[in-house]
Structure 1
Amino acid sequence: MKRKERRKRIGTVAWKIFGSFLMLIGVGIFVSRLVNKPPSDKLSKMEQMEVIIDEGGCMYCHAGPEYASHRIHWPVVGYLIEKDAKRGIRFSNMSHAFEQLYQKKSITQPVLYKLQKIALNRSMPPLSFQLAHWKSPLIKGKRDILLDWIYNRLSEDYDVPYPVTHALFQPIQPLPDTLPTDPLKAALGRSLYYNLSCASCHNPETGGTDNLPFSIGVHNQPSETSTLT
């Protein structure tokens, strides 16, 4: 009899905890819908992006803990946020991209495609992060602003057709017809390529190969494979 009563009490407590958790999620979703609004149309595109990044807590999870909000000190919720942040920085460290953005410099194409993928499948931020950051969900208005900004950057910086949806989820992304080059870096690369003996096997004048069935390796010994191009 006592065991049944104990089990009943444990079950009641468990249901109360579970119910409280569901209520917390429900309240979070309700409050989020009330306070989470797209940036004002009066702001410039850059200012709108800054609002989305700030409200989304993007920099904390993808640039470093120095951008953490005060919510990191909340019990339970703070632990979840910190866990999400560690996973986020490990998955994608975008500190350089944020730096380029705020300095109004071109962001690399892979980063732009990654942002586009996130915006289209709404994979960020995770639910546990949204519970404490009610303005972080990428609602339709914010999503449209983000995608429009991405498409403009791809079009203006890389002459990529607008908008881009083909090959979005492919590991190899389309390259622009031309890429900016630094003559000094190019000269250094050429010097290293030849000085480190790369060209002895991967000769640019013969299509990147040495035309031998088995390449000659260290100590002038033949290897077991041909040169890869």
Structure 2
Amino acid sequence: MKKIFVGAVALLAAGYLGLSGIAWYHDTLHAESSAAQPVASAETAQIRDILNRNACYYCHSATAALPPYASLPGIRQLSQYDIDKGQRYFRLDALFNALRDGSPPGQADLAKLERVVTNDAMPPMRFRLVHWSTGLSQHDQQTLLTWIAHQRKRWYVTPGVAAAFENEPVQPLPQALPTDPRKVALGMQLFHDPRLSVDNSLSCASCHSLSTGGVDNRKRSLGVRGQLGGVNAPTVFNAALNHMQFWDGRAATLQGQAGGPPLNPVEMASASWQQIVGELNADPSFANAFVKVYPDGLSGPNITDAIAEFEKTLLTPSRFDAWLRGNTEALSREEVHGYQLFKSTGCASCHVGANLGGQSFERMGRAGDYFAARGEALTEADNGRANVTHDPRDRQWFKVPGLRNVALTAPYFHDGSVTDLREAVRKMAQYQLGTTLSEADVDALTAFLKSLTGTYVPPSAPMSASAPAPSPAFAAQP
């Protein structure tokens, strides 16, 4: 009886502290976020209030100020465990910033929040037992889901999508992106031009072949003199839709990405842009064509600008896009079922947007130790995003790859460790979602992923006599 009494008192004390902490946290955050900020819309204010009331930032923000009781022995350890786990799955800082300044919330953030609300998964039960005032009411849930739908329609809906799919976490590809055809023509030549490499042996297309899904199908690419790169080459198709470039996001734009390999000592190994410009200027036909488009002539920024402009044309619409645009016959029953599984199992919480990925960074192995299971020694490349931010919390976080043409782009993951698409599906379910799929589910998901294989049609453009012709297009799979 005494133990029961002591336990009840402890629970009451914990609940009191929890209620006090929530109130303290809510008042403090409200005061800080209101200072010197424009008045938020009523809808935005409601969303912030729901997140604040439920203390979502306790575990999902790197900057949250925890209440005083969180430093007490025992509670401190539990709090740290919840914070570590919470930030592994969902960091709310960017979403809160978007609520504060009116910028577009991330597509992956919207998808994760939608999944949490739909499954009533947050706050977790253990948190609710201590913080009695938390938990989403039906009104809260509907408010959040309505806001998510409004944000998607405002920022992310692809023109021409069927009305039934406007609120999907993924969208069809746009018909085209705005480009300058003259720059596209130059960029197409430069993309296939080996003169960007120090020994004239490699072009951009050497690792990003347009006839094999925009990759070289190697575990790690070969640079000049047979040097081995550190990561698996990501596809260049649809890369214009990524929020950042490279696995670690070290380039913010397509132009920034295009400027990396030519000067990378392991890849194309040119000493400088001056060296590359000298090679290209030695070709009067190309140099004269270039200056007609860029009056200030050949330079590193102009070369990479032209390549980026060409890469904006590398869109590969597929049968899945036709289905999202209203053609109900475009997908088979199994493919549709696979797409439903793609959403219900949680894949669409990260593989979002028109590229089905490329919109966020996620931890590789957030639901299990992928690297320990891999059995290979860790490399510098395995540090992922931390190599750019130098923040230890970003270690082993990577840009989520887009899944378009994934059936053509094996091997998979940043380390190229998996060669079979079905095995990649199983491993992602295991290490990212913490679930084991049935063979029937693997079949359906794989069928859906194969429906993402699209068609690329090269832009019509004149080629200079000295520049090699682009690789042929690849066609959608039946």
- TM class by smaller structure: 0.5 to 0.7
Does the C-alpha gap of structure 1 residues 18 and 156 become closer, same or farther in structure 2, counting only changes over 3 Å?
A: same
1:88 alignment partner in structure 2: 86
Which among 119, 122, 138 is matched to residue 140 of structure 1? Answer: 138
Q: Deviation per CA, 1:74-105: give whole Å up to 9, x if none.
A: 56445433331221112222322221221111
Q: Computing the radius of gyration over CA atoms, which structure comes out larger, 1 or 2?
A: 1
In the TM superposition, residue 123 of structure 1 has moved relative to its aligned partner by 0.6
Q: Deviation per CA, 1:137-168: give whole Å up to 9, x if none.
A: 111111111111111111111127578776xx
2:53 alignment partner in structure 1: 55
Q: Which amino acid in the other structure matches residue 214 of structure 2?
A: G
Q: Which amino acid in the other structure matches residue 219 of structure 1?
A: R
In structure 2, C-alpha distance between the alignment counterparts of 1:219 and 1:17, rounded to whole Å: 72
Counterpart check, 1:175 vs 2:174: no
In the TM superposition, residue 52 of structure 1 has moved relative to its aligned partner by 0.9
1:224 alignment partner in structure 2: none
Count of residues in correspondence between the two structures: 187
2:120 alignment partner in structure 1: 122
In the TM superposition, residue 17 of structure 1 has moved relative to its aligned partner by 5.3
Which among 199, 209, 219 is matched to residue 225 of structure 2? Answer: 219
C-alpha contact 1:80 1:128 (8 A) present in aligned 2: no
Q: Deviation per CA, 1:32-86: give whole Å up to 9, x if none.
A: xxx9xxxxxxx81011111111111112211125332334245644543333122
Aligned-pair RMSD on alpha carbons? 4.5
2:154 alignment partner in structure 1: 156
Does the C-alpha gap of structure 1 residues 121 and 83 become closer, same or farther in structure 2, counting only changes over 3 Å?
A: same
1:110 alignment partner in structure 2: 108
C-alpha contact 2:152 2:167 (8 A) present in aligned 1: no
Does the C-alpha gap of structure 1 residues 208 and 77 become closer, same or farther in structure 2, counting only changes over 3 Å?
A: closer
C-alpha contact 1:203 1:209 (8 A) present in aligned 2: yes
SS at match of 1:67: coil
1:101 alignment partner in structure 2: 99
Counterpart check, 1:199 vs 2:205: yes
In structure 1, C-alpha distance between the alignment counterparts of 2:71 and 2:133, rounded to whole Å: 18
In the TM superposition, residue 134 of structure 1 has moved relative to its aligned partner by 3.3
In the TM superposition, residue 20 of structure 1 has moved relative to its aligned partner by 5.7
Does the C-alpha gap of structure 1 residues 14 and 152 become closer, same or farther in structure 2, counting only changes over 3 Å?
A: same
Q: Structure 2 matches for 1:24-39, cutoff 5 A?
A: none
1:72 alignment partner in structure 2: 70
Does the C-alpha gap of structure 1 residues 163 and 77 become closer, same or farther in structure 2, counting only changes over 3 Å?
A: farther
Q: Deviation per CA, 1:159-179: give whole Å up to 9, x if none.
A: 27578776xxxxxx5235449
In the TM superposition, residue 217 of structure 1 has moved relative to its aligned partner by 6.7
In structure 2, C-alpha distance between the alignment counterparts of 1:93 and 1:193, rounded to whole Å: 40
Q: Structure 2 length as normaliser, TM-score?
A: 0.32
Does the C-alpha gap of structure 1 residues 51 and 192 become closer, same or farther in structure 2, counting only changes over 3 Å?
A: farther
C-alpha contact 2:90 2:112 (8 A) present in aligned 1: no
The structure with more helix, counted as a fraction of residues? 1
Structure 1: segments with no counterpart, 5+ residues: 1-11, 36-42, 167-172, 222-226
C-alpha contact 1:97 1:111 (8 A) present in aligned 2: yes
Structure 1 moving runs of 4+ over 4 Å: 12-25, 74-79, 160-166, 189-197, 215-218
In structure 2, C-alpha distance between the alignment counterparts of 1:99 and 1:208, rounded to whole Å: 35
Q: Which amino acid in the other structure matches residue 64 of structure 1?
A: A
1:208 alignment partner in structure 2: 214
Does the C-alpha gap of structure 1 residues 109 and 177 become closer, same or farther in structure 2, counting only changes over 3 Å?
A: same
Structure 2: segments with no counterpart, 5+ residues: 24-40, 198-202, 228-234, 236-407, 410-478
SS at match of 2:132: coil
Does the C-alpha gap of structure 1 residues 105 and 81 become closer, same or farther in structure 2, counting only changes over 3 Å?
A: same
Q: Once structures 1 and 2 are overlaid, which stretch shifts more, 93-102 or 139-148?
A: 93-102
